[in-house]
Amino acid sequence: MPHRTHTLTIPTSGPGLHEITRDIAAWVASSGIRTGLLTALCRHTSASLVITENASPAVRRDMLRWLDTQAPQGGYYEHDDEGPDDMPAHLKSALTGVTVAIPVEGGRMMLGTWQGIFLVEHRVHPHRRDVALHIAGE
């Protein structure tokens, strides 16, 4: 069974959801694998991956607001090595997760009509985030 790997690097400018669906879809199509399983891993502890609606920007804004209520910045945390947004970013990453697995059929991800894959930046300052991709199949 063939395996392929690739790393996407996504520049961020602060908190937000950055859609990476097209980049991943292009790589899957170029992989030569028609049927299989794609796994994506965000290689950071203060950013994450989610699959959510990609049609309405309000979904992204609401998600960020909700995450801020679950892990607000403030003096609540012992871990603040990189600033007041450090521990809240780790918590948000743990809540949303750093991996997604998506079936592939016909050389395309089997996402639903309104689904997109997003890198979620949880830190205040810009970063360069790596997402490792792996596909196995035939």
Question: Using 50, 70 and 90 to split pLDDT, how confident is the model at 97?
Answer: very high
Q: Is the pLDDT of residue 70 over 90?
A: yes
Q: 3-137: which CATH topology?
A: Jelly Rolls (2.60.120)
Residue 3 to residue 31: CA distance in whole angstroms: 9
Q: What is the CA radius of gyration of the chain?
A: 16
Average pLDDT over residues 66-80: 94
Per-residue pLDDT tens over the stretch 79-93: 999 999 999 999 999
Q: Is the pLDDT of residue 108 over 90?
A: yes
pTM: 0.96
| Residue 23 CB-half CA count within 13 A | 16
Domain ranges of the chain: 3-137
